[in-house]
Amino acid sequence: MGPRITGAALEATGHRVRLLSPADVAAYRDGNKTDRADAIALLEASWNEWINEVPVKRIE
């Protein structure tokens, strides 16, 4: 399942979901693209309250 479908399923169970644009998160990554660097960039980007969020698609 994709992140938008998973996000919709999590919202249906009461969780708050924030999907962040990969292009916006990439700006926070230092060095090469590795799983560790991506995780750190995602964490730092999630702390920024001004970052654009991608809307969660609704399951119908």
User: For 14-36, what is each residue's pLDDT tens digit?
Assistant: 998 888 888 899 999 998 999 99
pLDDT confidence tier of residue 45, bands split at 50, 70 and 90: very high
Residue 11 lies in a domain: yes
Please give the tally of structural domains in the chain: 1
Residue 60 lies in a domain: no
Residue 29 lies in a domain: yes
User: Is the pLDDT score of 58 beyond 80?
Assistant: no
pLDDT confidence tier of residue 60, bands split at 50, 70 and 90: low
**3-class SS string, the chain:** CCHHHHHHHHHHCCCCCCEECHHHHHCCCCCCCCHHHHHHHHHHHHHCCCCCEECCCCCC
Residue 59 lies in a domain: no
> What is the model's pTM?
0.70
Residues of the domain holding 29 = 3-54
Residue 20 lies in a domain: yes
